[in-house]
Structure 1
Amino acid sequence: MQQDLPHEETQTVSLPEALLYIDGKLRRAAGDKTYDNIGPWTGEVIGKAADASAADVDEAIAAARRAFDDTDWSRNHAYRFELLKKYRDLLFANRGKLVQIARDEVGSAIGAAARAQIDGALGGFDSLLACYADVKWQEDRGIKNEYGFDTKRLVTYEAVGVVGAITPWNVPLYVNVGKVVAALLAGCTVILKPAPDTPLMGSFMGELAAEAGFPPGVFNIVTSADPAMAGEMLTRDPRVDLISFTGSTAVGKKIMENGAATLKRVFLELGGKSAYIVLDDAPNFPMVVMGSMVVFHAGQGCAYPTRLLVPRSRYEEAVKALEMAYAGFAGKWGLYDEPTCIMGPLISKRQLERVKSYIDIGVQEGARLLAGGKVRTDKGGGFFIEPTCFVDVRNDMRIAQEEIFGPVLTVIPYDTEEDAIRIANDSIYGLGGAVFGSTERALKVAKRIRAGALSVNGGMSITGDLPFGGYKQSGMGREWGREGIEEFLETKAIGIRAS
């Protein structure tokens, strides 16, 4: 990969071709079919990716089924653990390449690429390995006398089977690791379908799996320009036992429909419209309010709090703090080479148009545009939009209810603590959130928010050893931690006649 160039200069990026990884082999798609990998910084082609056919996907499913049914992969716990430790070491050894892929393919600024994109994924891998020791494979439930004789009871836990992992483009390595590593540790075999926008991050995982010596069929990767074809096959095929999906709520509903015919187990991590609640007794009130800016990775995060709730009694103070914060950030984003930069472009032209359409909706709804709102073609041919903040927002506005998935913050005043809780919960989503205030009071509020991960006064509620997932239409099931591994296990009761 080339050396970094200043953002103001033309960046000639050339990434390796993203290959398929099926039945233990790295290869091109049927007929050598490829599609263009578009770089978010420039809007130009930065590489090629294998464009899998339906036959390629079918081969991956068949390989995963064979590896589960015909080998001892699901039962050889020690072997799996040692192999995944070797795989972990290879990922860590290739951290620099992974960071570069995140920068050029995902569009992450250096500060975001090194933190959430790669180090978060690598740290999460370590957490899953550590949590593996806590997973129970068998429990003795003692002897019970039923119908006049004793029965010794065991409960065993075993792998579900073949897993279809369908992942998004926003933090691809992080989500890929969360699904793939947990499923493999549980003893499942996996077909990973990365998002079309970020094929190389998934494909590179296959390259390292081949280097680690994964048995054929245990882990398979299919990339495709078609966002739906491979996913439709995985969700409908009776040979696939479980679907783990991260993405939009609309697609999650479709996956549930598709899986119903074969009663697949479904894990869904879907959209969010999380609340950032600042109580009137929050220490350093202006700084806490400034910390709500939606700028990290251009706001492309499902659990990112994008609704700022502030007390009406301190509303004007909050608005002034935000004016200062956005003005101070104006020249600090969209910089390819700046190590402290945390906001780059959006992933694609389609996403740029989506975010801009929501900004236009916010203006039409009567919210006041405090900062940003413009597409920035002066930053090059990539997909740049300004950090944007709306104030005077009502919670019934579309910009307060619908997931935008871009650098857009909506600011909503509330009257009382009960009002803040009501507004925060007045959403179809329930993924994450944050509460700031005196610790006891903030914790009390956090416990009443209907969401899966709550931060109190900046505490980390999303880490590799904690379960992550949503309430309501933010999904079902949990990823990461011991619970994330257990999502991929079945429970079996065994009774042994003792007398």
Structure 2
Amino acid sequence: MALLADGTSALLIDGKLVPGSSGTFPTLNPATEDVLGTAADADAEDMGRAIEAARRAFDETDWSRNTALRVRCVRQLRAALREHVEELREITIAEVGAPRMLTATAQLEGPIEDLGFSADTAESYQWNQDLGQAAPMGIPTRRTIAREAVGVVGAITPWNFPHQINLAKLGPALAAGNTVVLKPAPDTPWCAAALGELIAGHTDFPPGVVNIVTSSDHSLGSLLAKDPRVDMVSFTGSTATGRSVMTDAAATIKKVFLELGGKSAFVVLDDADLASACSVSAFSVCMHAGQGCAITTRLLVPRARYDEAVATAAATMSSIKPGDPSDPGTVCGPLISARQRDRVQGYLDLAVAEGGTFACGGGRPADKAVGFFIEPTVIAGLTNEARVAREEIFGPVLTVIAHDGDDDAVRIANDSPYGLSGTVMSSDPDRAASVAARLRVGTVAVNGGVWYSADAPFGGYKQSGIGREMGLAGFEEYLETKLIATGVQ
């Protein structure tokens, strides 16, 4: 894809591709530790210009009222992404360390197609609803509910699934009539900058409607939460950072969407096929090196079959070797950075200090002197009170915990500050449904069901977040509700 003359990616501000005021910063290949290239490094003044452009585009153009234009632009973006999908695939594999197989689904192609849901929803949405005539306080009145765009949206996104999360914010926010300033993670600037290039060169988005600001400064996103010109902040990332975003946004009482961490439970009931369930659980934790907020990293199994469950999970995880993400057969690639690898290793060391043992894994692969790899690891011998069972590790690490029946399994699953996702396995559909109904989480997979879909809402309870992304609920996160009351003569 085209870059600026000096070979770096660019910012997109007010419809133009521009360099960053702080120069450039490198982006790395996490599998090789090589520098891939450089990205535009924005500063606070660049962010201020992006916010001002978004504010002006919302206030001074008809973008928020021109549904046909918005639908056309979002579909143009989808078409441009489709046209350049192979270039984007190679960028994603190299910069994110995403296994090639995942780019056919949630890492790239899935999010591209999901843009169609946002465009279709805007096109068919009931923007106005007639409540009919009434006489409040004896005054004949016709009431209409109008749904309108929130305004300027600040979107702050992480590095683990950059296309999925960037587009899950941009698609509905733009289709709903908002203007957007996107601040992606410093670890994956090229994935976001590629969007800016395609928007600038292949779509009719008016200047200022979409702004993309890459920066090496992790804190630059806080300006979006603090700035009074921004009407809403949409953040995906860690719970700790989510608290900071919420605190910063409180000063201007702006709308906040948060999709945060998880420590989800995979509940195996005593009538389930234990071997199959434990293998599925172990495999899912290895995908993309466990770098997913909704991955079920606690495996809850019947106490009487605990050792069997640990052995089965360990056999599956031992068979999955961390490898080159560009290889079509790779399931578990690298972690995103040395910092993240060291963080995961710190949790593995903690597991031993807490009295746990490794049924497999436990550190860096012996054959991987280069790259930010961690072995798929099964931790055994701990209860749900252990920190490694309560805190989000964000690596290929599975903690196996014993339960004493359905009620105890529900208790353990819910005994978490998080409430993002969960899985229930049972040969009895009614029993599985009963357990699923009692889990305090935003999504539950029952007996192999898949909850991820463009038309299905995703989000969590408790410290896993506020609001929903995707689906109609995700579209409506970016809308305000106005009641218009007109006197009837």
How do 1:225-236 residues align onto structure 2 when only pairs under 5 Å count?
225-228=216-219, 230-236=220-226
Corresponding residue for 1:7? Answer: none
Corresponding residue for 2:291? Answer: 300
How do 1:256-275 residues align onto structure 2 when only pairs under 5 Å count?
256-275=246-265
Tell me, yes or no, if structure 1 residue 219 matches structure 2 residue 210.
Answer: yes
Tell me, yes or no, if structure 1 residue 455 matches structure 2 residue 469.
Answer: no
Which residue identity lines up with residue 360 of structure 1 in the other structure?
Answer: D
Residue of structure 1 aligned with 2:191, choices 197, 201, 207: 201
1:65-116 CA-partner distances (Å, limit 9, x unpaired):
0000000000001110011111111111111112111110001121223322
Does the Cα contact within 8 Å between 1:246 and 1:268 map onto a contact in 2?
Answer: yes
1:401-435 CA-partner distances (Å, limit 9, x unpaired):
00000010000010010000000000000001111
- The 2-side partners of 1:465 and 1:422 are apart by 30
Tell me, yes or no, if structure 1 residue 483 matches structure 2 residue 473.
Answer: yes
Tell me, yes or no, if structure 1 residue 428 matches structure 2 residue 440.
Answer: no
Distance 1:280 1:154, change over 3 A: same
1:142-173 CA-partner distances (Å, limit 9, x unpaired):
11012333100001000000000000000000
Residue of structure 2 aligned with 1:375, choices 364, 372, 376: 364
Corresponding residue for 1:339? Answer: 328
- The 1-side partners of 2:218 and 2:35 are apart by 18
Deviation at 1:27, TM superposition (A): 1.3
Corresponding residue for 1:397? Answer: 386
Which residue identity lines up with residue 329 of structure 2 in the other structure?
Answer: T
Q: Secondary structure at the match of 2:445?
A: strand
- Relative to the length of structure 2, the TM-score reads 0.96
Deviation at 1:335, TM superposition (A): 2.8
- The 2-side partners of 1:346 and 1:16 are apart by 26
Tell me, yes or no, if structure 1 residue 24 matches structure 2 residue 15.
Answer: yes
Does the Cα contact within 8 Å between 1:167 and 1:194 map onto a contact in 2?
Answer: yes
How do 1:487-498 residues align onto structure 2 when only pairs under 5 Å count?
487-498=477-488
Residue of structure 1 aligned with 2:343, choices 333, 349, 354: 354
Distance 1:213 1:150, change over 3 A: same
Tell me, yes or no, if structure 1 residue 43 matches structure 2 residue 33.
Answer: yes
Deviation at 1:377, TM superposition (A): 6.1
Does the Cα contact within 8 Å between 1:275 and 1:434 map onto a contact in 2?
Answer: yes
Deviation at 1:130, TM superposition (A): 3.5
- The 2-side partners of 1:130 and 1:435 are apart by 33
Q: Which moved more, 1:45-54 or 1:378-387?
A: 378-387
Tell me, yes or no, if structure 1 residue 62 matches structure 2 residue 52.
Answer: yes
- The 2-side partners of 1:253 and 1:333 are apart by 33
- The 1-side partners of 2:347 and 2:30 are apart by 20
Give the alignment's Cα RMSD to 1 decimal. 1.5
Aligned residues, how many?
A: 481
- Relative to the length of structure 1, the TM-score reads 0.94
Structure 2 unmatched runs, 5+ = none
Structure 1 unmatched runs, 5+ = 2-14
Deviation at 1:443, TM superposition (A): 1.3
How do 1:74-93 residues align onto structure 2 when only pairs under 5 Å count?
74-93=64-83
Q: Percent identity?
A: 50
Residue of structure 2 aligned with 1:309, choices 300, 307, 310: 300
Tell me, yes or no, if structure 1 residue 189 matches structure 2 residue 188.
Answer: no
Q: Secondary structure at the match of 1:17?
A: coil
- The 1-side partners of 2:378 and 2:313 are apart by 8
1:327-365 CA-partner distances (Å, limit 9, x unpaired):
322xx4313442121211000000000000000000110
Distance 1:440 1:133, change over 3 A: farther
- The 2-side partners of 1:403 and 1:189 are apart by 33
Deviation at 1:490, TM superposition (A): 0.5
Q: Secondary structure at the match of 1:412?
A: strand
1:120-143 CA-partner distances (Å, limit 9, x unpaired):
212322333333355321100011
